[in-house]
Amino acid sequence: MASAAVVDAGDAPEPTVRNLLDQDSLKWVFVGGKGGVGKTTCSSILSVLLAGVRQSVLVISTDPAHNLSDAFQQRFTKFPTLVRGFTNLYAMEIDPKVENDDLSNEGMEGFLSELTNAIPGVDEAMSFAEMLKLVQTMDYSVVVFDTAPTGHTLRLLQFPATLEKGLEKMMELKNRFGGLLNQASRLFGLGDELNEDAMLGKLEGMKDVIEQVNRQFKDPDLTTFVCVCIPEFLSLYETERLVQELAKFEIDSHNIIINQVIFDEEAVESKLLKARIKMQQKYIDQFHMLYDDFNISKLPLLSEEVCGVQALQNFSQHFLTPYKSNLKRGTIEELEQRITLLKSALQEAEAELDRVRKGKQSA
């Protein structure tokens, strides 16, 4: 299991993400986990917090679903766009598919198609390499990746090996067909830029970029992976799988964010909520047992979505200070709030009963 530091017994790491803000050397921050656990909200808030302590921050969505635009309530494209309300935070959304205008045109589509069929993931690898090349020229202080669900993230980490296979396949095609491709290009007036040497050069260039970045990814001073999860069995299982894979790829991971936690002191008297709290606590205990050397942050389940810069900034406080309910169970204030909620629920039920009775009478 990858970890930033050995922790003395009884000296548990701080349950916040403050360590990420304090690590000035960080260049790449990946945020990943199972689908539907709140990765985009967490990566958006991390980028907002980092923008407060770093010179320039770029948050990139590599998830085809692209929820960054929803989180910030602003339209983003495949080019970095300044987030409204900030002077140093930029966002972009890329599709993990090869861009025709970037990598080919009609003369090469069939050839690229054969290559991508021969090596699954080579189109994503090429697209990712192009994006990394673009990002490197812009020189951001730190780049936050809002990744797609776990399987896609693990493929992203395998890109250097995938591009290597692509190069081998290109060499194999070159040796097999000799100058046929060049002749065909000239015959149809497509120009020399479409020959296999040009493609080979393009792949070589991408491989160099990805290998250079991959070396940075394996440096814990430069790169870390934040695992986002919820306190349920499948999410715990997926997090364990992710942490093991990250260790295999030698990528540092020492932060876990447990989202959608129901805090006991906030629960209204409800059997369903009590059962849910009990179940959640069981998995939270398991997270602490498995990852006792990780910074584990717990975020509360909210009654509404966190959308827009203001909402993100308001919610970000729980990333830096462990969440505590304003009300303590058994206090006068907590009892008064419960009575108010129960009265409101009773009024709603009585109004519903009146509507049903009137409906029956009119029928």
What is the residue whose two structure tokens read 């349920």?
Answer: 232
Which position among 8, 22, 63, 293 bears the catalytic label?
63
Rg (CA), the chain: 25
What is the residue whose two structure tokens read 């029956």?
Answer: 360
Show the tokens assigned to 178: 């000799």
35 is in an annotated binding site: yes
Strands of the 28-32 sheet, one edge to the other: 81-82, 89-93, 57-61, 142-146, 28-32, 223-229, 255-261, 295-300
Name the nearest CA neighbour of 245 among 30, 20, 21, 7: 30
**Measured CA distances, 8 to 34, 73, 168 (Å):** 30, 43, 48
What is the residue whose two structure tokens read 């972009």?
Answer: 92
330 is in an annotated binding site: no
**Measured CA distances, 309 to 38, 45, 101, 114, 121 (Å):** 16, 9, 33, 44, 35
34 is in an annotated binding site: yes
Strands 57-61 and 89-93: parallel
Q: State the amino acid at position 56 in one-letter form.
A: S
| Distance, CA of 287 to CA of 296 (rounded, Å) | 8
232 is in an annotated binding site: yes
Per this entry, what is the length of the chain?
Answer: 363
Number of Cβ within a 10 Å radius of residue 180: 12
39 is in an annotated binding site: yes
37 is in an annotated binding site: yes
The residues that bridge with 30 in the sheet, in sequence order, are 145, 225
Give φ, ψ of 152 to 5 degrees. Answer: -65, -40
95 is catalytic: no
| Distance, CA of 33 to CA of 235 (rounded, Å) | 8
Contacts of 117 by beta carbon, 8 Å cutoff, 6+ apart: none
Query: What is the 8-class DSSP label of residue 360?
Result: H
| Distance, CA of 357 to CA of 353 (rounded, Å) | 6
Residues marked as catalytic: 63
Please enumerate, by residue number, every residue annotated as part of a binding site.
34-41, 232, 259
Please enumerate, by residue number, every residue annotated as part of a binding site for ATP.
34-41, 232, 259
